[in-house]
Structure 1
Amino acid sequence: MLQPPQPYYHHDFDKSLQRTNILSIYIMQVEQVEKFSSDRLTASCLCAEDFSILCQMHQEPNVMATLNGIRSDAQTKQYLHRNLEHWQRYGYGLWIFRDKTNGEFVGRGGLRNIYVDGNDEIELAYALMPIYWGKGLVTEMAKAMLKVGFENLEIAQVVCMTLTTKHHNE
């Protein structure tokens, strides 16, 4: 089995393009999961059409308090671009989560390659709109994403980071 590619670091994206051939071979060998669902949520891979809901999320002070602060539309556009490139590069990334009953935007979550303390890691990332806090949805999202990561994408381990001040979600 081929070894996973080196993580995508947004600060050196242009340099990492030199690894495209190796990455393409690896991506073809894993099952890309663009859509899945849990008991109360549907998930679909991030796409350009999600820009407006990401802008809404990135302007929400309570959400962004632990995610490096409010982002402008221009910053959100860069964020979207980086995460779309991550999908193209690895065959996984962020998903948009919606309520199964009404289709409303609940949040975003996913698996992203990052660099932490000198190590290449795959992060379980998530953010939820405040109206959905306290309903167990982060746990539901995390379980579904981990199932996809371990069973479909054959990811061996995942890290997740949060701040101790982040107690509203669960």
Structure 2
Amino acid sequence: MLSQRYPTILEIEGVLADVPHDGYVASLADAFSDPAVMSTLGGVRTKDAAENFITRTRAHWRDAGFGLWFLRDIRDGSFAGWAGLRRCEADGERTVELAYALMPKLRCKGHATRIGAAALQLGFDNLGLSEVVAFTTPENTHSIEVIDRLAFERDRDFEHAGRPHVLYRRTAAMHRAN
């Protein structure tokens, strides 16, 4: 069930965000096969994995009414990555995660922070979420900087997908205080 409380399409300062569809298969497969893109996301993956990711992400939208957007650079129409909120399990806890992955040419330009801020605002203000988590590997300093700019608090270290990760939390009370 899709909801306008969490838009299916929006533009955030030059990046178009919309619900995943089959038109993204080739671009996502290219991203999944690029070691530079996948270096912090568990390594390269196959075209089948890209198709499965699109299928799972669409199903999440249908079931939850929110999810990850797939991103395009408005300037040239190129695939820019994915970002948004999704239900997940982190360290044995069912929760909602802020997730983002940008193509290398768009990194370090503030896009992840702006898209993350929009997703958090929609999650807390429109969906009424009580908490959102974010997690990354300890060496992913760019992601940690985004998480810090979005005013998450470090919670704890844990293992995810067989690798060390750090879990961060942001509550609705923290959101209201900002």
TM-score interval, smaller chain: 0.7 to 0.9
User: Secondary structure of the equivalent of 1:158?
Assistant: strand
Q: Is the 8 A contact 2:2 2:62 kept in 1?
A: no
Larger helix proportion of the pair: 1
Matched, 1:104 2:78: yes
| TM-score w.r.t. length of structure 1 | 0.75
Shift of residue 37, structure 1, vs aligned partner: 2.1
Residue of structure 2 equivalent to 1:149: 123
Partner of residue 95, structure 2: 121
Deviation string 1:84-138 (CA, Å, 9 cap, x unpaired) is 1111111111101222333322211121111122321101111011111221211
Sequence identity (%): 33
1:30/1:152 contact within 8 Å kept? no
Shift of 1:28: 7.2
**Matches of residues 129-140 of structure 1 in structure 2 within 5 Å?**
129-140=103-114
**Counterpart position of 2:37:** 63
- Counterpart Cα distance in 1 of 2:12 and 2:86: 20
Query: Higher strand fraction: Structure 1 or Structure 2?
Result: 2
- The TM-score with structure 2 as length reference comes to 0.72
State how far apart, in whole Å, the 2-side matches of 1:150 and 1:165 are: 29
* 1:62 CA displacement: 1.5
Q: For 1:52, which of 5, 8, 26 is the aligned residue?
A: 26
Displacement of 1:32 after TM fit? Answer: 4.4
Q: How far is the alpha carbon of 1:55 from its aligned partner?
A: 0.7
Distance 1:40 1:164 in 2: 30
Q: Distance in 2 between the 1:153 and 1:46 partners?
A: 20
Gap runs ≥5 in structure 1:
1-26
Task: Give 2:13's aligned residue.
Answer: 39
State the alpha-carbon separation in 2 of the partners of residues 52 and 28 from structure 1. 25
Distance 1:117 1:167, change over 3 A: closer
Query: What's the secondary structure of 1:134's corresponding residue?
Result: coil
Q: Choose between structure 1 and 2 for higher RCO, CA contacts under 8 A separated by at least 6 residues.
A: 1
> Which residue of the partner structure matches residue 165 of structure 2?
none
**What's the C-alpha RMSD, in Å, of the aligned pairs?**
2.0
Contact 1:37 1:144 (8 Å CA) reproduced: no
Q: Distance between the aligned counterparts of 2:139 and 2:90, measured in 1?
A: 21
